[in-house]
Amino acid sequence: MEQSPETPEPQRKERSAGRQMTVGALVISVFLFAGKTAGYVKDMAIAGYFSKEVNDVFYAIYNNIVTMFYSKIEKLLRPTFLPQFVKQLASDEKTAWRLASVVFNVQVLGLILVVAVLEVFPAPLLRLLIPNMTADPEMLRTAVGLLRIMAPSLLLFSPSVMPELMLHSYKHFTAPAVSDCVMRMVLVATLFVSVENLWHPDHPQAVYAAALGVLVAYPLRFIAQLPALFGKLKNYALSLDFSTPGVRTVFALMPPVIVGLLFSTARGIADTVYSDRVGAGVYAALNFARRVTDAPLQILPLAVSFVVYPFLSQWVTEGAKDKLADALVSMTRAMAFLFVPAAVAIMLLSDVIIAVMFEHGKFGPESTQLAAVALWCYAIGMMAYSVEASINKWYFALEDTATPNYMGAAAAVLHIIIGYVGVFILGAGEATLGRQEAGIAAIAMALTISKSVKVVILYGLVLRRIGAIDWPAVWSFTIRLGVCTGLMGLVMWAILQFAREPIMAWTPPMGGKKAQMLALFAITGGPGAIAFIAAAAALRLEEFSLVWSRVGSKVMKRFGRR
């Protein structure tokens, strides 16, 4: 029997890289989905357990202090530390670990100082950050307690980015994803146990249960990753030797990133100030709405951005500009195929989605109305949000940390200006519900507009530095996707016009309004999805054909075997 010729080495490497990226993205996506599900359970519980004023205070501290420190450190180290660690790892693993040790030790020393300030001076910091929310002395005491309980978690939660980046450098993606999932699940478990056994929801400090959950669960993100590095931890050193190879390069790359982070932090603080001005419940409503759009965005797009980065760096080193161009087009098309129709569906069903997920207990119809307005505005920007993290990686692989970060700083300024004009100059900060809706729309649209402008400019600039793009194919895809999405939106809108009133007049045997909204969601979303899929098949969208050929064919084969 004649043997088939061996596959050339470059093709084998390319297929291996493709398999690694696919498997890595899928593994991360599965655990991100589980973690996000746990996060939504937490948000639903907090929305129902506590008043809107308490929710505002909790999320203002949680977002602007606890998660902010982790996210900013991650965004600082991923483009600066990870490439240098990979570079050193290729030549000498011990040198790479000495580099990691110095960066880790500097981070921990800085966090010890931060936590000390938060524990000693919580009241002045909170009065500065959320003056209206903490104007009541009792609410200020609650806020101080929340901050003091959660602050120590930073000592291990924020440094958990280091083992994550190191494992990604070794192309090990499972342990970081599992650790994040474990953290979120333990937070939910601690919240429910604490509410049932320590603080009843009607207790004045019941929200401390959520803070205790953060304190118990968030350090686990660091601890749960250590077993995956167990055999290599012996290389860690208590060192601050800045002469270690790569250390000075890491810190030299940081200034543009720090500029971007400072401006993005200012954007978050501005949103907190604007929400504080508009009225009670606005910050929590914005937070819950953003959680809905973030859920799908922080699964597949985030996984893709993590996995693709090492391969982009490799292609830049090889000078393979055509691969950079093909990968950019493929990534963008995949995100558009998923998130353009998702954005339209979410906009049409914004009030339904918020009611199903959050309306219960102390989160009433008025809060649902506010969050639905924010969700509608955030949904417009989902396409821009879905590609933002990934497009940055093309610049980082090209050893350019300045362009995306300076563009991010400019976008943050635009965001702050739009929010300020909407809330303060146009008078959106009045106390009436209508004015609150206008204020919340101004804050949400500030993010959508600024992020969209930033992404469009970054795409325009990076196209000059990579290979040629097949523009006729891009425009053909754009038109066909627009037709599919338009048909889906028309079907969903028509069903909503006819079905909403009868369903809201229906008295379900159990579930009340949630059952009504679930029924409306199913009756509208199901036919909409079918219309989109049918149109995608008829117009031969390649992304649909790829999914069908890989998944549909396997399903048909299994049915055939049976």
Among candidates 39, 65, 80, 36, which has minimal Cα distance to 302? 36
- pLDDT for position 200: 76
DSSP characters for 357-415?
A: HH-BTTB-HHHHHHHHHHHHHHHHTHHHHHHHHHHHHHHHHTT--HHHHHHHHHHHHHH
Q: Quick one: 267 exposed, middle or buried, by C-beta within 10 A (0-12, 13-18, 19+)?
A: buried
Mean pLDDT within 236-246: 91
Q: Where are the alpha helices (DSSP H) in 423-511?
A: 433-462, 471-505
DSSP characters for 29-72?
A: HHHHHHHHHHHHHHHHHHHHHS-HHHHHHHHHHIIIIIHHHHHH
Residues in CB range of 23: below 8 A, 6 or more apart: none
**Does this model's pTM top 0.75?**
no
State the CB neighbour count (10 A cutoff) for residue 115. 18
Residue given tokens 């973030």 in the structure block:
294
Residue 273: band (very low, low, confident or very high) from pLDDT cuts 50, 70, 90: confident
Residue given tokens 């129902």 in the structure block:
48
Q: Are 61 and 149 in contact (CB under 8 A)?
A: no
Residues in CB range of 18: below 8 A, 6 or more apart: none
Helix (H, G, I), strand (E, B) or coil at 464: helix
Residue given tokens 């490497």 in the structure block:
13
Which two three-digit tokens encode residue 268?
């978050």
Sorted by where each begins, the domain ranges of the chain are: 13-232+244-252, 256-468, 470-562
- pLDDT for position 480: 94
Mean pLDDT within 87-100: 89
248-265: per-residue pLDDT in tens?
A: 989 988 888 888 888 988
* pLDDT of residue 464 exceeding 60: yes
* pLDDT of residue 1 exceeding 70: no
> Which residues pair with residue 363 across a beta bridge?
360
Amino acid at 224: A
Residue 107: band (very low, low, confident or very high) from pLDDT cuts 50, 70, 90: very high
DSSP letter, residue 509: S
- pLDDT for position 305: 64
- pLDDT for position 318: 75
280: left (phi over 0), alpha (psi -120 to 50) or beta: beta
Residues in CB range of 401: below 8 A, 6 or more apart: 79, 80, 253, 256, 257, 395
Residues in CB range of 220: below 8 A, 6 or more apart: 179, 182, 183, 186
pLDDT cut 70: percent of the chain above it = 86
Q: Where are the beta strands (DSSP E) in 172-238?
A: none
Residue given tokens 């996506």 in the structure block:
29
